[in-house]
């Protein structure tokens, strides 16, 4: 039927519904995006793609819209009922992704009231199912959890236009709303396994782990029964640190744990580490994206996992060949994959459904179960009802209690309808699985999808998870807390620690700062919640570095443009130093030939950027001057020369006189006698100070010929005349 999904009325209705989703805490919602990937064989024939939508205690109406076809299917669900829709062949072609690329093969489900949604991808002897997360529970940061096989896949759906998606930091595509990116990877030789790969986007996306055929566990010479794997993954902010893993009736399952942060340490009770290609053989000091595989057994009543940093966990049904020793006459299970939320994601109640295939496939999966996870102390408070029937205690199954204080109940689901489970005292998580003749599915049925990292703190405005083991530069160091409203109102609800020593002055402070010397510091924030008992501890490690440098300047002397700047950097980390001088092409640590003035430099290393304004001073040189006494003298008389130079910033150290008659002196105040001839002589004085500044000046002196007087005088000459006494003339 042709759709009319975007009438004005429905558009307004869906907008109003979306506005209410910001507080989304569980898997129910009013808007979902999904798609399907290739099942084994990579062809369409014989596929059954099914969508199951569960209404809670309110009627729900909406549409299933097929983006590629611009076609939709309406639905209306009574309270406590299930809407089951098996896709037509045309619809299968429009959502069934084969081969790496971008397509618009998506399904958009909208409802006027919150519903729970599931999807099934089945062909003969190859089946799996998944929950579908509402749009408010999606995110931008994921790590893949897949499994080994001859190929590997994942697919994501964009919820907004112009969404950039990345695989391990490499841009793989830009998607518009409703477009999908499907990645198919085949390796030679196998196994192919992209578990741990990081998938990120700049806007929220829905991510699904896919595998056309997985061998679980991967034992090629012993395991032949592969199966399609299909499971939606949760974004990293919804990951937790504490998990309780139930075990299926088959008695032996597989678990994978992937780290989201470096230096992750894990402990577990009830499992055994498996040595597998690509996996780690230790639970300590895992890096982001590294993973560990465990074997868990029903004999241990489940497996309890704890981590000091958020981890993602998937649990898997194994091939019947792996459990044949437990059930010699049974050939009823193939591999399947399910996302397991942390026990922090327990909810009070849930509406769920078994994933029963369409009529053509009912003979293959004939056992359906729910696994109810809850604290042992409150397990007897768990109730169940079918549809809108009467609530009653759990029956028909078995409790398995673990030493951790958690238990699970394996209950058969015998009706193709909605089931309601509740435990308001201890909360619960519901997993679902089914087995049959070489068939199985396993998926999460109900839990919360809270953002478990919305509480946190920042160091220099960097989130504590992002800065972990990172390096920061700058003083003082600023700390800022982000906490929700569920904290205690008593003093001491917020405490800060540096290297396990409380910063008492920062107690109950959301913002504070401190100067820290270069080094490695463990930063811890402890929150006390409103029950005044429960605490949450968040930790990170930071390395504080300084970028400092000594500045040596040589002033410009005497206006000669001979000033200089030399920088000597002291970096607390090995690094490459870069220099940039404003207005100058130089990129080195030394500038020469400078005029007096100010110069701005930017110095950067791997971690720090420091700007500095440096002043080059100037040195005034001396001013030469002298006085001749007397300035006019008779040839042969002595003249005294007196230095009258003005000293600049440096002491005058050299004097050089040239008297103009080929004679010189280096005295400060010399005396000189002109003896050769009368005349005008230019006297030159050159001076130099301790900084090499020089100056000179010339003055004229006048030298006259002396007067000759007779040494004998007679007033009467021999001629009898009288004479006058006066100097002889030339």
Q: pLDDT by residue (tens digit) across 71-111? A: 999 999 999 999 999 999 999 999 999 889 999 999 999 99
* CA–CA distance, 646 with 561 (Å, rounded to integer): 22
Q: Are strands 336-340 and 266-269 parallel, antiparallel or unpaired?
A: unpaired
Number of Cβ atoms within 10 Å of the Cβ of 20? 12
Q: What pLDDT shows up at residue 571?
A: 60
Q: Decide if pLDDT at 123 tops 70.
A: yes
Q: How far is CA 107 from the centre of its chain?
A: 31
Give residue 5's pLDDT band: very low, low, confident or very high (50, 70, 90): very low
Q: What pLDDT shows up at residue 12?
A: 28
Query: 217 versus 325: which is more confidently predicted?
Result: 217
Give yes or no for a contact between 238 and 452, defined as CB atoms under 8 angstroms apart: yes
Region of poorest pLDDT, from 151-155, 217-221, 718-722: 718-722
Over residues 448-460, the pLDDT tens digits come to 988 777 678 888 8
Q: Is the dihedral of CA 87, 92, 96, 98 positive or negative?
A: positive
Phi, psi torsion values for 658, nearest 5 degrees? -125, 115
DSSP state of 707: P
Q: What pLDDT shows up at residue 720?
A: 64
- Nearest to 105, CA basis, from 90, 125, 120: 90
The structure tokens listed for 611 are: 């700007």
Region of poorest pLDDT, from 428-432, 463-467, 626-630, 717-721: 717-721
Give residue 721's pLDDT band: very low, low, confident or very high (50, 70, 90): low
Mean pLDDT for the stretch of residues 426-442: 90
Indicate the SS3 state at residue 577.
coil
Q: Is 108 left (phi over 0), alpha (psi -120 to 50) or beta?
A: beta
Q: What pLDDT shows up at residue 572?
A: 55
Give residue 712's pLDDT band: very low, low, confident or very high (50, 70, 90): low
Over residues 22-44, the pLDDT tens digits come to 233 679 999 999 999 988 765 55
Give residue 529's pLDDT band: very low, low, confident or very high (50, 70, 90): confident
Give yes or no for a contact between 682 and 674, defined as CB atoms under 8 angstroms apart: no
The C-alpha R_g of the chain, in whole angstroms, comes to 45
Q: What pLDDT shows up at residue 211?
A: 87
Q: Decide if pLDDT at 398 tops 90.
A: yes
Q: What pLDDT shows up at residue 679?
A: 93
Q: What pLDDT shows up at residue 553?
A: 93
Q: What pLDDT shows up at residue 19?
A: 29
Q: Decide if pLDDT at 729 tops 70.
A: no
Give yes or no for a contact between 458 and 356, defined as CB atoms under 8 angstroms apart: no
Give residue 606's pLDDT band: very low, low, confident or very high (50, 70, 90): low
Mean pLDDT for the stretch of residues 393-397: 95
Mean pLDDT for the stretch of residues 237-254: 94
Virtual CA dihedral for 461, 466, 470, 475, nearest 10 degrees? 10
Over residues 336-387, the pLDDT tens digits come to 999 999 998 999 899 999 998 866 555 578 889 999 999 998 899 999 999 9
Q: Helices marked H in 493-636 — which ranges?
A: none
């Amino acid at each position: 039927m042709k759709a009319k999904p975007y009438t004005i009325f429905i558009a307004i209705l869906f907008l109003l519904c979306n506005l209410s989703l910001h507080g989304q805490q569980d898997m129910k919602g009013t808007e979902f995006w999904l798609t399907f990937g290739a099942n084994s064989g990579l062809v369409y024939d014989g596929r059954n793609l099914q969508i199951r939508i569960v209404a809670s205690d309110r009627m729900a109406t909406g549409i299933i819209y097929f983006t590629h076809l611009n076609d939709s299917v309406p639905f209306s669900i009574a309270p406590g009922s299930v809407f089951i829709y098996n896709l037509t062949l045309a619809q299968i072609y429009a959502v069934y992704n084969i081969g790496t690329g971008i397509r618009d093969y998506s399904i958009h489900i909208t409802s006027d009231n919150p519903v729970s949604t599931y999807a099934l991808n089945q062909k003969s002897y190859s089946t799996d199912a998944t929950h579908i997360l509402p749009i408010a529970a999606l995110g931008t940061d994921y790590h893949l959890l897949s499994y080994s096989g001859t190929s590997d896949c994942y697919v994501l759906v964009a919820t907004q236009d112009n969404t950039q998606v990345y695989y391990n930091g490499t841009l793989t595509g830009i998607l518009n709303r409703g477009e999908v990116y499907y990645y198919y990877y085949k390796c030679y030789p196998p196994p192919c396994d992209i578990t741990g790969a990081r998938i990120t986007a700049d806007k929220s996306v829905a991510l699904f782990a896919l595998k056309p055929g997985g061998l679980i566990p991967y034992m090629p010479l012993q395991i032949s029964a592969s199966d399609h794997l299909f499971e939606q993954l949760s974004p990293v902010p919804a990951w937790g640190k504490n998990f309780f893993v139930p075990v299926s009736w088959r008695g032996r399952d597989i678990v994978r744990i992937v780290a989201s942060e470096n230096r992750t340490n894990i402990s577990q009770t009830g499992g055994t580490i498996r040595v597998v290609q690509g996996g780690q053989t230790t639970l300590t000091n895992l890096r982001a994206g590294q993973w560990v595989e465990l074997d868990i057994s029903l004999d241990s009543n489940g497996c309890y996992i704890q981590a000091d940093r958020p981890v993602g966990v998937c649990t898997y049904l194994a091939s019947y060949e792996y459990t044949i020793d437990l059930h010699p006459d049974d050939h009823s299970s193939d591999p399947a994959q399910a996302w397991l939320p942390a026990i922090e994601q327990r909810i009070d109640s849930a509406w769920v459904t078994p994933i029963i295939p369409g009529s053509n496939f009912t003979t293959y999966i004939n056992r359906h179960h729910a696994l109810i996870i809850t604290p042992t102390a409150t397990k007897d408070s768990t109730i169940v009802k079918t549809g809108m029937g009467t609530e009653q205690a759990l029956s028909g199954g078995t409790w398995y209690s673990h030493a951790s204080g958690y238990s699970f109940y394996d209950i058969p689901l015998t009706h193709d309808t909605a089931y309601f489970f509740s435990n308001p005292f201890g909360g619960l998580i519901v997993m679902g699985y089914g087995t049959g003749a070489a068939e199985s599915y396993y998926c999460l049925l109900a839990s919360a999808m809270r953002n478990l990292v919305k509480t946190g703190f920042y160091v220099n405005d960097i989130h504590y998870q992002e800065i972990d083991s990172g390096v920061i530069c700058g003083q003082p160091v600023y700390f800022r807390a982000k906490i929700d409203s569920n904290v205690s109102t008593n003093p001491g609800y917020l405490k800060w620690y540096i290297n396990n020593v409380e910063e008492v002055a920062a107690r109950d402070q959301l913002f504070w700062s401190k100067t820290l010397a270069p080094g490695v510091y463990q930063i811890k924030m402890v929150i006390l919640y409103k029950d005044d008992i429960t605490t949450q501890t968040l930790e990170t490690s930071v390395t504080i570095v300084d970028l400092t440098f000594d500045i040596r300047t040589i002033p410009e002397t005497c206006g000669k443009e001979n000033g200089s700047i030399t920088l000597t950097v002291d970096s607390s980390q090995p690094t490459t130093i870069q220099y940039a001088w404003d207005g100058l092409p130089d990129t080195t640590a030394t500038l020469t030939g400078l005029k007096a003035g100010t110069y701005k430099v930017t110095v950067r290393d791997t971690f720090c950027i420091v700007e500095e304004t440096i002043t080059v001073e100037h040195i005034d040189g001396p001013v030469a001057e002298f006085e001749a006494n007397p300035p006019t003298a008779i040839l042969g008389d002595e003249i005294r020369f007196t230095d009258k130079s003005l000293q600049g910033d440096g002491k005058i150290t050299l004097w050089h006189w040239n008297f103009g008659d080929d004679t010189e002196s280096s005295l400060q105040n010399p005396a000189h006698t002109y003896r050769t001839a009368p005349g005008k002589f230019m006297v030159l004085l050159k001076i130099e100070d301790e900084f090499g500044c020089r100056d000179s000046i010339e003055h004229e002196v006048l030298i006259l010929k002396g007067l000759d007087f007779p040494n004998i005088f007679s007033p009467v000459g021999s001629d009898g005349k009288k004479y006058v006494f006066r100097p002889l003339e030339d």
